[in-house]
Amino acid sequence: MSSRTGPEFGVFLAVVVLASVLVGGVAVADAADADVTFLTHSENVTVPQSDDATIRGMSNLSAGTTVTVRVRATADTSPKFLKVSDATVGENGDFTARFDFSDIPTESTFTVTVLENGTVVGETSGVVVESTTTDATTTASETTDPDTNTRVPGFGVTVSVLAVAGVSGFAYLARRTI
């Protein structure tokens, strides 16, 4: 039986601690690298002219993160309006913000902005439509340029490299102690 106080064990422990610190830093998205997508119809967020309209989206922010969804009338829309609602990111990255659009005329256009801790993490355009029961053609649309979006959801390259290095180091140490 070998001792666990030798220099190999110290190196192994250092690799594990370093990997743990790095994993905690890269596994969670923050406002600087957050991506937001919105539920859209014909490339616009559409909301019914009702008192219980919702704007839905997806984000790579951590579950439980509170985002602020701001809806502002565009320059050509009258009456001018600004509506704000907080939403919580769910376990699968989804969020839903509720608004009262009952006093806003149909065909009014607006800009939707999502903020996390005061930093803009997503933005798209929208329009108020007549109230309907459901809209079966709603689809998710990226608000980021897909050619520049190179992030991998979940574990990134750094975590993958550290995992392989950690497993290799552990295997090396295990062979030396046998």
Q: Using one digit for the tens of pLDDT, what is the confidence trace for 72-114?
A: 999 889 999 999 999 999 999 999 999 999 999 999 999 999 9
Q: Looking at residue 43, what is its pLDDT?
A: 87
Question: Pairing state of beta strands 45-48 and 119-129?
Answer: parallel
Residue 26's SS3 state is helix
Could you tell me which residues are beta bridge partners of residue 29?
61
Nearest-angstrom CA–CA distance, 70 and 35: 16
Domain residue ranges in the chain:
7-27+156-177, 31-142
- Number of helices followed by number of strands (H, E) in the chain: 2, 9
Of 39-43, 115-119, 151-155, minimum mean pLDDT range:
151-155
Global model pTM greater than 0.85: no
The residue among 23 and 170 whose pLDDT is bigger is 170
Q: Looking at residue 168, what is its pLDDT?
A: 60
Q: Using one digit for the tens of pLDDT, what is the confidence trace for 49-73?
A: 999 999 999 999 999 999 999 999 9
Q: Does domain 31-142 have CATH number 2.60.40.2840?
A: yes
**Residue 151: pLDDT above 50?**
no
Kindly state the DSSP code that residue 128 receives in the 8-state scheme. Answer: E
Q: Using one digit for the tens of pLDDT, what is the confidence trace for 2-49?
A: 444 555 555 554 554 444 444 443 334 455 678 899 988 888 999 999
Of 98-112, 115-129, 145-159, minimum mean pLDDT range:
145-159
